[in-house]
Amino acid sequence: MSTFERYSATIAEGDLAILYRGHSDLYPIVIKSGEFVNNNKGYVIILHPTPELWTLSLPHRTQILYQADISIITSLLRLKPGSRVLESGTGSGSFSHSLIRTIAPTGHLHTFEYHEGRAAEAKAEFEAHGLAQFATSQCRDVCKDGFGLTNLVDAAFLDLPAPWEAVASAKQALRKDVATRLCSFSPCIEQVARTVEALTQHGFTNIEMYECLLREHDVRNVTIHQVDVMRSLAPRPKVAAVRPGKGQEEDVPAAPGSVITALVRPRNDARGHTSFLTFATLLPQAEEADEQ
């Protein structure tokens, strides 16, 4: 049973695990008897793999999708167990792992990558992670040759330089008996404009576009003095060592009226942009009976 598909309580031989060595230091390893890992931190924590940890630690072959975009795309494409999804391009497989997690055990991912090397690596990764049963990987230039699927998928995800070239084929791949969804992921507004034009021409409706970014916040304790403490001509009292998060009663404020307060503010190293997310709906085709 793949550890990506289900949780297991203990590590088994050959399992993929994520090594935690610090807040921004995650490292995937395969646990094999007889092998050694050198580590100079003095401790290590071995974590069960999840798509989120994989996204943070996987070897990049291309720019990847991060959790904020992955999350909103998953929800707005209405993905869930049993969904059939089309993804192009596979890239480094960041989103692919997340998609499989969401649609398993009854759904299926059809993923396309035009670069031979990357397509092969992604396919090998799915095999190694025990996910091959959920994904059909193809090496294919979908803008030239289409997806080769008809009336099959519930949702399509396009991460391409020229998504408008794949809209017609994506439309063909989507089911026609019920409403289906499409998402296009593009960094540039010009790409978005052309994609929306193509979507409109091909009969897609409910076109919406968003950007979605994470804001991480830092929290730290500081001692705040009243101004009167500064007014004295006498040398300033020493400030006690500040301990973040420890029980407040242990901390000794430096002077009367001084308070240990939490400062909360967004982190300075924030993301400004990942990509624009364009969503659209393809309505089911009209049945004979509706024509009056």
**Token pair recorded at residue 114:** 């035009």
Q: Which helix (H) or strand (E) holds 26?
A: strand 25-30
| 211 marked ligand binding residue | no
Judged by CB under 8 A, the chain residues 189 through 228 that form the site for other proteins are 189, 192-193, 196-197, 200, 205, 207-221
Residue 113: count of CB within 10 angstroms of its CB: 28
| Least distance CB 233 / other proteins (angstroms) | 29
| Least distance CB 241 / other proteins (angstroms) | 8
Of residues 177 and 249, the one with the C-beta less far from other proteins: 177
3-state SS assignment for residue 203 = coil
Judged by CB under 8 A, the chain residues 41 through 80 that form the site for other proteins are 42-48, 50-52, 67-68, 70-72, 74-76, 78, 80
Residue 208: count of CB within 10 angstroms of its CB: 11
Contact, 19 vs 144, CB < 8 A? no
Q: Which stretch binds other proteins (CB under 8 A): 3-11, 85-93, 113-121, 159-167?
A: 3-11
Residues binding other proteins: number (CB under 8 A)? 104
Contact, 268 vs 216, CB < 8 A? no
Q: Does 281 bind other proteins (CB under 8 A)?
A: yes
Strands 155-158, 180-186: parallel, antiparallel or unpaired by DSSP? parallel
Select the residue interacting with other proteins from 20, 62, 141, 255 (CB under 8 A).
20
Contact string 255-274 vs other proteins (x = CB under 8 A): -------x-x-xx-x-----
| 228 marked ligand binding residue | no
Q: Does 10 bind other proteins (CB under 8 A)?
A: yes
Judged by CB under 8 A, the chain residues 131 through 150 that form the site for other proteins are 132-138
Q: Does 254 bind other proteins (CB under 8 A)?
A: no
Sheet strand arrangement including 25-30? 25-30, 16-22, 45-47
Select the residue interacting with other proteins from 177, 231, 234, 238 (CB under 8 A).
177
Select the residue interacting with other proteins from 81, 161, 187, 256 (CB under 8 A).
81
Of residues 17 and 156, the one with the C-beta less far from other proteins: 17
Contact, 87 vs 149, CB < 8 A? no
Of residues 115 and 194, the one with the C-beta less far from other proteins: 194
Contact, 71 vs 95, CB < 8 A? no
**On the CB side of 44, how many CA atoms lie within 13 Å of its CA?**
13
Instruction: Give the CA distances from residue 292 to residues 60, 232, 289, in Å, rounded to whole numbers and listed in that order.
Output: 55, 90, 7
Cis peptide before 89, with omega less than 30 degrees from 0? yes
Q: Which residues are annotated as a binding site?
A: 113, 141, 159
Bind-site residues for S-adenosyl-L-methionine = 113, 141, 159
